[in-house]
Structure 1
Amino acid sequence: MPQADFEDQEQPLDPAMEKIRRKMVRLQLISGGIFLVCFMAVIAAIVYKISLRPAAPATTATTAGYAVPADGPLAATAALPPGFDIQQVSLSGNQILFYGALNGMPKVYIFDLSVQRIVADVTVGQGR
């Protein structure tokens, strides 16, 4: 098997090819170094962006224009007039509609959670 021994031995390159090989190795090292520096810059930018993210407030979260406490329910009082008989309640977004009667007259009150007050007082009657 003299041929196998001959294949294992490498022939020395001529000076021109050796010069090109050295340039290629140097180019690979420089390219690898640039790639490593760019990769580290991207990692640093990601860490920087994550560290700048503001901490979420633990006390409130906003929903539909009003703040909801994180530790409990929203507390509000709808001051309906005395004697108002509630027949139906409806919720739409941040508004609560109270339908009922006051002294026998049908009425609608709309309570807005964002401003925490009655925003509409509607008397329901027949048109002429």
Structure 2
Amino acid sequence: MAAPRTSDDDKPLDPSVERVRRKLLRFMIVNLAILFIAFALVIGAFIYKSSLAPKRAVEQETQIRPPSGADAVAGTIAIPAGARIVSQTLSGKEVLLGLELADGSRSFLLYDLQAARTLGTYSVKAE
């Protein structure tokens, strides 16, 4: 077996190669420092933005309060004859009713619960 030659590793580098090695080492250190500083700034910006973000607002209370006892509200919403309600959506004081009419077509009825009046009727037609 041949013993490893250690004399090759111990030889000093050529001065020009040593200068290039030092420049590369300095370049690497500067770039890593810039990278770490940029990373710290990004993390700091995320923390800063999240600490200043407004807390989620509590959902606004609907304007219609549930009645208690004798104060119960009653009313009638007129829909076309033969129509049936297939969907409904309540938003504050307004309700949107999805209707399937007697002829099979669809329409939407927007109704104001507080004023007890129809705000609009929208027909859905295929083109």
1:75-115 CA distance string (max 9 Å, x none)? 2664538xxxxxxx956323177xxxxxxxxxxxx7535xx
Q: What residue in structure 1 maps to residue 54 of structure 2?
A: 54
Structure-to-structure mapping, 1:20-39, within 5 angstroms: 20-39=20-39
Moved over 6 A (4+): none
TM-score w.r.t. the length of structure 1 is 0.53
Q: Which has the higher contact order (CA 8 A, sep 6+)?
A: 1
Greater strand fraction, Structure 1 or Structure 2: 1
**Backbone CA RMSD of aligned residues:** 3.8
Runs of at least 5 residues in structure 1 that lack an aligned partner in the other structure = 62-66, 82-88, 98-109, 121-128
- Say whether the 8 Å CA contact 1:78–1:117 is kept in structure 2: no
* Aligned residue pair count: 93
TM-score w.r.t. the length of structure 2 is 0.53
Q: What residue in structure 2 maps to residue 75 of structure 1?
A: 66
Could you say what secondary structure the match of 2:44 adopts? Answer: helix
Structure-to-structure mapping, 1:1-128, within 5 angstroms: 3-6=3-6, 9-58=9-58, 60-61=59-60, 67-68=61-62, 75=66, 78-80=73-75, 90=85, 92-94=88-90, 95=95, 111-113=111-113, 116-120=114-118
